[in-house]
């Protein structure tokens, strides 16, 4: 039985379940996922928050780590990147609801 290949695209889809409770959009729409490493025996994600002192950061990071680990089926680590978020990082069309562009 061949193991299904886990892709970054599949991982991004799996992470759509993680919603920022303040904004009501998922971490992929917001462009918070900055890098992904998928190895045969582990996964690693770098994410940023929409604000440096986001009160939901620990919750969002842990929910993302768990969702990624469930999808990948391997131990997964997550780190918070230091890059500053801005609305241009959002998925195309996601900012339309905000009237930002």
What pLDDT score does 100 carry? 52
Contacts of 63 (CB under 8 A, 6+ apart): 18
Checking if the pLDDT of 66 tops 70, the result is: yes
What's the CATH superfamily of 8-88? Fe-S cluster assembly (FSCA) (3.30.300.130)
Checking if the pLDDT of 96 tops 80, the result is: no
Encode the chain in three state secondary structure: CCCCCCCHHHHHHHHHHCEECCCCEECCCCCCEEEEEECCCCEEEEECCCCCCCCCHHHHHHHHHHHHHHHHCCCEEEEECCCCCCHHHCCCCHHHHHCCC
Average pLDDT over residues 31-42: 96
Domain ranges of the chain: 8-88
Average pLDDT over residues 80-92: 93
């Amino acid at each position: 039985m061949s193991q299904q290949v886990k892709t970054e695209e599949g991982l991004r889809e799996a992470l759509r379940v993680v919603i920022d409770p303040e904004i009501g959009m998922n971490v992929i729409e917001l462009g918070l996922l900055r890098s992904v490493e998928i190895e045969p025996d582990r996964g690693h994600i770098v994410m940023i928050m929409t604000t440096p002192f986001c009160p939901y950061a620990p919750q969002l990071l842990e929910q993302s780590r768990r969702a990624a680990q469930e999808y990948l089926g391997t131990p997964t680590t997550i780190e918070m990147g230091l890059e500053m978020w801005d609305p241009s990082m959002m998925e195309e069309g996601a900012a339309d609801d905000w009237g930002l562009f």
